Structure 1
Amino acid sequence: MKWIGLTGGIACGKSTVAQLLVQQSYPLVDADRIARDVVAPGTPGLESVIQAFGPDILAPDGSLDREKLGAKIFSLPEQRRKLESILHPLIRTEVQRLREDLERAGHVLAFYDIPLLFETKAQSQFDEIVVVTCKPEQQRERLRKRNGLSGEEIEKRLASQMPMSLKEEQANFVLHNDGDQAHLMKEFQRLVDWLKTLSV
């Protein structure tokens, strides 16, 4: 089974492409969803995070309050590393389990939707890498509209990720999401055509 990494830059439309792949019945494992599952209430993962960062990171219902945790770690690299050292092994184990399930089910290829593929130096784990990209001014505009972020917050978010040009250089396939919906669908069809060549 070909294991394909799906990644992109913030606000480039990777999640939209992931939804389109699922609609076309391509199997897809979602890193963000797994990251949530491993710290669901009652899990050892959540217990470890509470021990490391304190009980004030919980929401009133006992679930993890991601905004509170994010505020604690966002500009502190050592705190972020501490969180990653708890979460990454749990996520890796679960991804491996899901990947083996898909392989056993006889799938020819499967996607792993992973926002920080390059930032976490995970390239070697994949047979192919698909990058969803758009122009930096579009990223800024989408972040303004979608998240209501200030100019300063937007620049911080963009600076925390690897430049899109470097991601594109390392991709096996680049999907350009810098037009309207019709343009995106054309690009998506181009991706599907490429995937067919991998399945042969």
Structure 2
Amino acid sequence: MSFLNITPILCKLPSSTQRLHIQVKMGSIFKVAVTGGAGSGKTSVCNRLKSLGFEVIDADAIARAVVSPGSAVLEAIAKHFGSGMIRRDGSLDRTALRRQVVKDISKKQKLERIIHPLILERMQDEITTLENQGVPAVIVEVPLLFELNLAQGFDMVVTVISDREQKTERLCRRDRVTREDAEALLDLQLPDEGKIEKSDFIIDNKGSIDDLYRDVDRMVQFLNEKSRIGLTR
């Protein structure tokens, strides 16, 4: 059974007032979304879950794959944002593109209409593959879960939170961007407070890595109780 029923939109974009419509269908596999602001520590949480035996799907990894050199999505980005978005080696210049979209909401919406449908389609394919293999549960790292109204497609939502200063520093270090660019990106996302009230479980990543892992282990216990099946292997 499919997770999301969507149609990819590449070069033909709807007007800025239209929204991406997503039809959600629930399947038998137990789907857990891990979300949180940029730099909150979602990947660290998912790596811990992977080490515990869970199947993990990374939406960011899918996003990188769909904009590979020569892809239709990359061509659409160049068409709508300029050839300067493509590096000499044919890859996407993420820094240049980020600087455009964080300063112009209409450009951000246009980019989302180009890239998100295909990301969601591939995410659906991966979930369906795991379901067909009889996997009881899957963890999906979805950075913009609430911003894209995708929470209803999951059986459980886990949000990773952290201080804004910590997130800013992590973004600067990880993505090699300026503090101004990091803060501009965070400004585009729903604040932690808005995510907390919509989540089933909160992982606080303001402390040490050991503290984070303890929170993840507690989440696994909560997950098993909620799903009523043993999900760890």
TM over 0.5: yes
Equivalent position to 2:152, from 91, 103, 124: 124
Q: Distance in 1 between matches of 2:147 and 2:123?
A: 18
SS where residue 10 of structure 1 aligns? coil
Alignment of 1:1-200 (within 5 A): 1-140=29-168, 142-143=170-171, 149-150=178-179, 152-197=180-225, 198-200=227-229
Post-superposition shift, 1:141? 5.2
Post-superposition shift, 1:142? 4.3
Greater helix content: 1
**Structure 2 residue ranges without an equivalent (≥5):** 1-28
Q: Distance in 2 between matches of 1:137 and 1:155?
A: 9
| Percentage of pairs with the same residue | 35
Mean Cα deviation higher: 23-32 or 177-186: 177-186
Q: Distance in 1 between matches of 2:120 and 2:177?
A: 33
Q: Deviations over 1:37-78 (max 9, x none)?
A: 111112211122222222211111011111111122221111
Give the alignment's Cα RMSD to 1 decimal.
1.9
State TM-score, norm by structure 1: 0.90
With over 3 angstroms needed to count, the CA separation of the structure-2 counterparts of 1:136 and 1:20, relative to structure 1, is same
Post-superposition shift, 1:145? 5.9
Mean Cα deviation higher: 14-23 or 180-189: 180-189
Post-superposition shift, 1:179? 1.7
Q: Deviations over 1:121-178 (max 9, x none)?
A: 211111110011123454355456655743x555433322212112111101111122
With over 3 angstroms needed to count, the CA separation of the structure-2 counterparts of 1:199 and 1:49, relative to structure 1, is farther
Aligned length: 199
Q: Distance in 1 between matches of 2:171 and 2:118?
A: 30
SS where residue 34 of structure 2 aligns? strand
With over 3 angstroms needed to count, the CA separation of the structure-2 counterparts of 1:108 and 1:199, relative to structure 1, is farther
Q: Distance in 2 between matches of 1:149 and 1:67?
A: 10
The question of whether the paired residues in 2 share the 8 Å contact of 1:108 and 1:199 is answered with no
The question of whether the paired residues in 2 share the 8 Å contact of 1:57 and 1:65 is answered with yes
SS where residue 158 of structure 2 aligns? strand
Post-superposition shift, 1:199? 4.8
The question of whether the paired residues in 2 share the 8 Å contact of 1:3 and 1:126 is answered with yes
